[in-house]
Amino acid sequence: MPASGREPGAVWSVDPRTGEQREQVGTEATPETVDATVRAAHDAREALADRAVRSAFLRTVADELEQDRAELVAAADAETALGGTRLNGELTRTCYQLRSFADTVDEGSFLDVIISHPDADATPPVPDLRRYKIPLGVVAVYSASNFPFAFSVAGGDTASAFAAGCPVVVKAHPDHPSTSELTAAAVRRAAATHGIPAGVLGLVHGFDAGVELVRHPLVAAAGFTGSVRGGRALFDAAAARPVPIPFHGELGSLNPVWVTEAAAAERPEEIGAGLAGSMTMGVGQFCVKPGLVLAPAGAAGDRLVKALGQALGEVGAGVMLDHRMRENFVAGVAERAQLPDVEAPVRPGPGPDAHTVGPGFLTVPAAALAREDGAHALLLEECFGPVTVVARYADPAEAEALLARLPGNLTATVHVSGPEAEGTEGDTGLLARLTPLAGRVLVNAWPTGVAVAPAQHHGGPYPATTSTSTSVGTTAAERWLRPVAYQNTPDALLPPELRESNPLGLPRVVDGRREG
């Protein structure tokens, strides 16, 4: 039974393993509710002004989430079917992320303090100038279906916005409304501990509420994780406002994987099995799922494909996040499978019962896929779920022709042989071909599993993201800040971050020299 609800505007938690409604969580937010929620968030700005309060708050949010771990994981599993192991790991990651942003706040480099002392000899003369970054204001966060913790109410967008000093209003994903409410309650308990108004985290349900949110005059920026269609509609709304706002959306990605001939010859079974593991992880519901694999034609490639098929045979059917996604997956793979030149050695599609799907893969000649006649264009669109497309190339030129046709991606991967990895054999310009395609380039690894680290970049050319920023890693906070410079300002009037004596001990650049 689909989640149609029993009254208009009712928001239900639904069990994707059965399709049954679990509980009514609330109702869809009216325009009045959205307005009140945004205003409450706006009023909470001052409470986040003190960086020490912000970092303590972020750490307490992590503590509160860990305290509620059992309840949160149970609710998320009941709503998403992602399983306890995965969800416990995701919650651990989410708490690590919150504490990591707390460290970022304490360390202070993200404020980007730059001081230029006066220089009367320059043309034009340089006055005393002191620049740092300040919070933009209320941030709207559109949470993801596939990460009920890490990219949801207390996920990376929210944590980075709090780190930047911005209150947040989250548009909950309809696939996990109970988890969203429980998480919001934990965040608000943490807020109360530090004397921060509960409005610092707003939570609204409903599609229309999401549109209302991005148009609200007091919303200063937005973060989004989801589909190309939904994300682009909100991006367009953000750009069309009387005062446009930054919209940091993560939309869709094929995440191409290029297996060189030498790599396929060296370890076909290992690569085939690794691919099966990566593409079926989380029932193929990762934004970085490898959705297109360039494998050589010929015997080595055949062995790789065979190993892939064998490994997939051992992966059981899985439950997707909701029934609509399951229907889209089943229809999407069927439509792709009947394209000319496409074969399905292991046919993906409906599972043994009405709630599951079975993983599989399609094959197509790379030359067909690279043709500009548009016949295979659908294969170059992301298909959410446990399927990948293996494009077989006859020679490196065919592979390169196909790479040149791809849209932007979050990741691009190459599997190379041992000698190729040494750079002594094959083409050392290998990475130069993948770099234009993606925000993260991997060698002999799989794109699933996005580490939280300072050097991470989770973003890429459109449609992977709608901006040049990242939504994972400590640099994600820069999305919610803007610089301001103070000119000729007496020390007593300056914010402490910019005073000459550096009372807060911040790292800064003074007259071109880095301090601290």
Site for its own copies in 383-422 (CB under 8 A): 408, 416, 421-422
Active-site residue, 250 included: yes
CB closer to its own copies, 1 vs 120:
120
Q: Which of residues 311-330 bind its own copies (CB under 8 A)?
A: none
* β-strand partners of 126: 119
b/e code 444-458 from CB counts within 10 Å (16+ = b):
bebbbebebeeebbb
Q: Is the peptide bond before 124 cis (omega within 30 degrees of 0)?
A: yes
Q: Can you read off the two tokens belonging to residue 479?
A: 């999305």
**Which residue from 8, 125, 503, 505 is in contact with its own copies, where contact means CB under 8 A?**
125
Q: What is the CA radius of gyration of the chain?
A: 25
- The nearest distance, CB 387 to its own copies, in angstroms, is 23
Give phi and psi for 510, each to the nearest 5.
-115, 120
Q: Does residue 116 interact with its own copies by CB under 8 A?
A: yes
CB 110 within 8 A of CB 166: no
| CA distance linking residue 247 with residue 347, whole number of Å | 38
- The nearest distance, CB 49 to its own copies, in angstroms, is 9
| CA distance linking residue 168 with residue 177, whole number of Å | 17
CB closer to its own copies, 401 vs 445:
445
Instruction: Look at strands 256-259 and 292-296 and give their pairing.
Output: parallel
CB closer to its own copies, 93 vs 176:
93
Q: Which of residues 454-493 bind its own copies (CB under 8 A)?
A: 454-457, 459, 461-463, 466-468, 470, 475, 481-490, 492-493
Of 202, 226, 101, nearest to 160 by C-alpha is 101
For residue 280, how many C-alpha atoms fall within 13 Å in the half-sphere facing its CB?
Answer: 23
- The nearest distance, CB 294 to its own copies, in angstroms, is 18
- The nearest distance, CB 348 to its own copies, in angstroms, is 26
**Which residue from 4, 338, 424, 501 is in contact with its own copies, where contact means CB under 8 A?**
424
- The nearest distance, CB 306 to its own copies, in angstroms, is 26
- The nearest distance, CB 233 to its own copies, in angstroms, is 13
| CA distance linking residue 228 with residue 325, whole number of Å | 14
Q: Choosing from 287, 382, 383, 420, which is the catalytic residue?
A: 287
CB 224 within 8 A of CB 142: yes
Q: x/- contact string, 335-364, with its own copies (CB under 8 A)? A: ------------------------------
CB closer to its own copies, 279 vs 367:
279
CB closer to its own copies, 129 vs 339:
129
Residue with tokens 């969203």: 180
Q: x/- contact string, 171-210, with its own copies (CB under 8 A)? A: ----------------------------------------
Q: Which of residues 239-278 bind its own copies (CB under 8 A)?
A: 239-240, 243-244, 246
**Which residue from 54, 131, 188, 215 is in contact with its own copies, where contact means CB under 8 A?**
131
**Which residue from 53, 334, 494, 504 is in contact with its own copies, where contact means CB under 8 A?**
494
CB closer to its own copies, 89 vs 350:
89
Give phi and psi for 176, each to the nearest 5.
-150, 60
**Which residue from 346, 430, 477, 506 is in contact with its own copies, where contact means CB under 8 A?**
430
**Which residue from 230, 345, 396, 507 is in contact with its own copies, where contact means CB under 8 A?**
507
- The nearest distance, CB 415 to its own copies, in angstroms, is 11
CB 285 within 8 A of CB 253: no
301: Cβ–Cβ under 8 A, 6 or more apart, which residues?
Answer: 259, 264, 268, 295, 392
CB 430 within 8 A of CB 422: no
Q: For residue 62, how many other CB atoms are within 10 A of its CB?
A: 24
CB 336 within 8 A of CB 342: yes
Q: Can you read off the two tokens belonging to residue 65?
A: 């989430």
Task: Provide the strand spans (E) within 278-368.
Answer: 292-296, 318-319, 343-346, 349-350, 356-358, 360-365
Q: x/- contact string, 434-453, with its own copies (CB under 8 A)? A: -x--xxxxxxxx---xxxxx
How many residues contact its own copies, by CB under 8 A?
82
- The nearest distance, CB 261 to its own copies, in angstroms, is 17
CB 115 within 8 A of CB 511: yes
| CA distance linking residue 456 with residue 97, whole number of Å | 12
CB 249 within 8 A of CB 237: no
Give the ranges where 108-170 is alpha helix by DSSP (H): 156-164
Q: Choosing from 28, 90, 181, 250, which is the catalytic residue?
A: 250
CB closer to its own copies, 174 vs 459:
459
Q: Which of residues 67-106 bind its own copies (CB under 8 A)?
A: 89, 92-93, 96
CB closer to its own copies, 158 vs 474:
474
CB closer to its own copies, 290 vs 365:
290
Q: Which of residues 216-235 bind its own copies (CB under 8 A)?
A: 235
**Which residue from 136, 169, 219, 369 is in contact with its own copies, where contact means CB under 8 A?**
136
- The nearest distance, CB 447 to its own copies, in angstroms, is 8
Active-site residue, 382 included: no
CB 112 within 8 A of CB 55: no
Q: Which residues are catalytic?
A: 250, 287
